[in-house]
Structure 1
Amino acid sequence: MANSPLITLITPAVPGSRAGNRATATRWAGLLRASGYRVSIRLSDESPSGPRPDLLVALHAWRSHGAINAWKQRYPRCPLILVLTGTDVYRFQYSDPAMVYESMDAADALVGLHDCLPENLPERYLDRLHVVHQSAEPLPDKAPGPSARTFDVLVAGHLREEKDSLRAAYAVRDLPRDSRLRVIQLGGAHTEDWAEAAREEMTHNRRYRWLGDQPRWRVRQWMARARVMVISSRMEGGANVVSEACVAGLPVIASDIAGNRGLLGEDYVGYYPVTHTTALRECLLRAERDSVWLERLREQVSRRAPMFRPEAERQALAQVVGQVLDQSR
């Protein structure tokens, strides 16, 4: 192990953060160590130091742009794998293309987290693009089951614009009195405005509960209790919570965007037009009332589950890393 290749993994998310970038960095560090590599995790705003790594893996083209330049300047012959996030592809590629493309040009390989990325990337990058699906562990056998009193809809993720976070809450306003639909929202607010909006929604919408930031074990507990999950995002790079839902056999109702289609498949029947409250409401009511349709969603997500096994993620990641290291020798 002492002579195995050293990988420096760069992330903009600080230790203890529940941000997706930090979760990915921590999980990948474990998977790479299991594949025989030495790994150090560094923050994007840290200055390069220490021994020369054999490989750099940077998460986020835009947020890690300065770090990529700094590490490549100090170690110009060190190969780089760049992991593209949803905001890289669907926001910063258009708002700040110079920084995003400079990071992508510096990379020996690009990694995306879902299968539809080629729809939104310049053709010149596609021959360097690899897909690594984020994995998830099964729920515990003794996890609590759904409540008979309520039909709980889970929304898990930080409250922010990219997630269209309150769309499910809006969708359960003014439902028929006999509906048991209830939205449970987990995740910290990106800004105080989002926190205030969630608190305000709770005062007027008895079917909506925002429980704030929660540890992973609590999120998994709510996944076991929920009847369906909503992924309402405007943009996604390949949300790990979709992997979690598929492995748990939890039906998903998702906005029809590339980041969701790239995980759930083009033939998935649980999509609704992004930001369309009425369409989402209709899907939720159908899930509650149409057991055949709900079971079809469950069968479809369960068929995707093998893509998200930890061993599948480890093998895909090790293949990219091994290829880049071989090419650099």
Structure 2
Amino acid sequence: MLTPAPPGSRAGNRATAERWSELLRQSGHEVQVVTHYEGEACDAFFALHAWRSHDAIQTFRKCWPETPLILALTGTDIYRHQTEYPLPTRASMAAADVLIGLHSLVGEDIPEPFTEKLLTLYQSADANSPEGDATSRSEAFEVCVIGHLRKEKDSLRAAKAARRLPDESTVHVLCAGKPHDRHWQSMLELEVRENPRFEWLGELDKADTRALMARCQLMVISSVMEGGANVVSEACRAGLAILASDIPGNRGLLGEDYEGYFPVGDEASLADALRRAETDPSFLKRLSSQVEALAPLFTPEKERRALEQALALAIQRRAGLKG
């Protein structure tokens, strides 16, 4: 299983690779997670990220033309690299026997010839409610933003929206994640200095992230593009209400009828939604009920079955090509 994210990284691709490897081991498979591939033999090859894994995929297909290949498509693959780097991205998609999409609308955003290879897999989260005691919440209306700070995530949009709130609002934005580069570090430091409604918690481990979710009344996912964020699964399993940018990667997880969308990059609309969630208990309750209803989609058992289905389809299709 190939991922571009190195061991110890808290990047989504690494977390996905490690979770998938464990789920496949539970089914009796032997799995090795690698960041580089140089032609080693295997019975099946999983690659995460079409563009970044292009060279490895071409090496694999050249060395082992009869071995099944499963490719997981990321948000940047689907919504950026298909346009910016179409040849390597689509060459990887063409080489795969099965394409894994992480939300239900991926098929609308990839070339039609590839849709027959597509299998939708919903990333899972633990069944237990987040660690922490909700009764220990502060008097503030606490809102979490979880994920690395980078352009694709539009990570400071909630903080900017909070600046627009009236003085009587108690909204406090808690941000957990690592800045992508010096530019994001500088923007983060400026926000910390100038915005009394904003607090940066740094990069958190899994337990602290779950505790943060238990502490908060609401989560904001403001991404410009998403392949299907695992943090959505975690929030749904925890019953934590979400305000989400209106993009395919969020609609493909939360559904077309979800009430908590706001236009991408529109901090005025997000500020209105934050204020409504803070002051209208019925609205917040409806959002919580909607995510709770979605929680059964995101169980480890369903994710493991989807991985097994992807593997079986890849074996079947590669055998068909040999025949």
TM-score range, shorter chain: over 0.9
Q: Secondary structure at the match of 1:57?
A: strand
Counterpart in 1 of 2:47? 58
Counterpart in 1 of 2:10? 18
Question: How far, CA to CA, are the matches of 1:141 and 1:239 in structure 2?
Answer: 18
Q: Residues 142 and 89 (structure 1 numbering): CA distance in 2 closer, same or farther, change over 3 Å? A: closer
Counterpart in 2 of 1:110? 99
* 1:31-76 residue CA offsets vs partner (Å, 9 max, x unmatched): 1111121111111x34233xx2111110000000011011222212
Counterpart in 2 of 1:290? 280
Counterpart in 1 of 2:111? 122
Question: How far, CA to CA, are the matches of 2:239 and 2:130 in structure 1?
Answer: 13
- Please tell me whether the aligned partners of residues 129 and 237 of structure 2 are also in contact (alpha carbons under 8 angstroms): no
Q: 1:31 aligns with which of 11, 14, 23?
A: 23
* 1:226-274 residue CA offsets vs partner (Å, 9 max, x unmatched): 0000000000000000000000000000000000000000100000000
Counterpart in 1 of 2:83? 94
Q: Residues 183 and 238 (structure 1 numbering): CA distance in 2 closer, same or farther, change over 3 Å? A: same
Identical aligned residues as a percent: 49
Q: TM-score, normalised by structure 1?
A: 0.94
Greater relative contact order (CA < 8 Å, ≥ 6 in sequence): 2
Q: Residues 140 and 117 (structure 1 numbering): CA distance in 2 closer, same or farther, change over 3 Å? A: closer
Counterpart in 2 of 1:42? 34
Q: Residues 46 and 141 (structure 1 numbering): CA distance in 2 closer, same or farther, change over 3 Å? A: closer
The residue type equivalent to 2:120 in the other structure is: V
Question: How far, CA to CA, are the matches of 2:130 and 2:58 in structure 1?
Answer: 47
Counterpart in 2 of 1:173? 163
Question: How far, CA to CA, are the matches of 1:298 and 1:174 in structure 2?
Answer: 24
Question: How far, CA to CA, are the matches of 2:129 and 2:156 in structure 1?
Answer: 29
- Please tell me whether the aligned partners of residues 222 and 245 of structure 2 are also in contact (alpha carbons under 8 angstroms): yes
138-147 or 234-243: bigger deviation: 138-147
Question: How far, CA to CA, are the matches of 1:143 and 1:79 in structure 2?
Answer: 43
* 1:258-309 residue CA offsets vs partner (Å, 9 max, x unmatched): 0000000010000000000000000000000000000000000000000001
Q: Secondary structure at the match of 1:242?
A: helix
The residue type equivalent to 1:294 in the other structure is: L
The residue type equivalent to 1:220 in the other structure is: R
* 1:71-91 residue CA offsets vs partner (Å, 9 max, x unmatched): 222212111111000000000
Which structure 1 residue ranges, 5 or more long, are not aligned? 1-8
Question: How far, CA to CA, are the matches of 1:107 and 1:34 in structure 2?
Answer: 24
Counterpart in 2 of 1:224? 214
Which structure 2 residue ranges, 5 or more long, are not aligned? none
RMSD of Structure 2 on Structure 1 (CA)? 1.2
Give the CA deviation at 1:138. Answer: 3.1
Q: Secondary structure at the match of 1:211?
A: strand
Give the CA deviation at 1:328. Answer: 3.5
108-117 or 170-179: bigger deviation: 170-179
Q: TM-score, normalised by structure 2?
A: 0.96
- Please tell me whether the aligned partners of residues 153 and 227 of structure 1 are also in contact (alpha carbons under 8 angstroms): yes
Question: How far, CA to CA, are the matches of 1:216 and 1:46 in structure 2?
Answer: 28
The residue type equivalent to 2:109 in the other structure is: N
Question: How far, CA to CA, are the matches of 2:200 and 2:307 in structure 1?
Answer: 35
Q: Secondary structure at the match of 1:172?
A: helix
82-91 or 64-73: bigger deviation: 64-73
- 1:136 paired with 2:128, answer no
Q: 2:149 aligns with which of 153, 159, 183?
A: 159
Question: How far, CA to CA, are the matches of 1:278 and 1:327 in structure 2?
Answer: 49
- Please tell me whether the aligned partners of residues 130 and 213 of structure 2 are also in contact (alpha carbons under 8 angstroms): no
- Please tell me whether the aligned partners of residues 153 and 184 of structure 1 are also in contact (alpha carbons under 8 angstroms): yes
- Please tell me whether the aligned partners of residues 158 and 173 of structure 2 are also in contact (alpha carbons under 8 angstroms): yes
* 1:130-165 residue CA offsets vs partner (Å, 9 max, x unmatched): 011000013457622162411100000000000001
The residue type equivalent to 2:80 in the other structure is: R
The residue type equivalent to 1:73 in the other structure is: K
Give the CA deviation at 1:121. Answer: 1.0
Question: How far, CA to CA, are the matches of 2:182 and 2:199 in structure 1?
Answer: 17
Question: How far, CA to CA, are the matches of 2:295 and 2:218 in structure 1?
Answer: 16
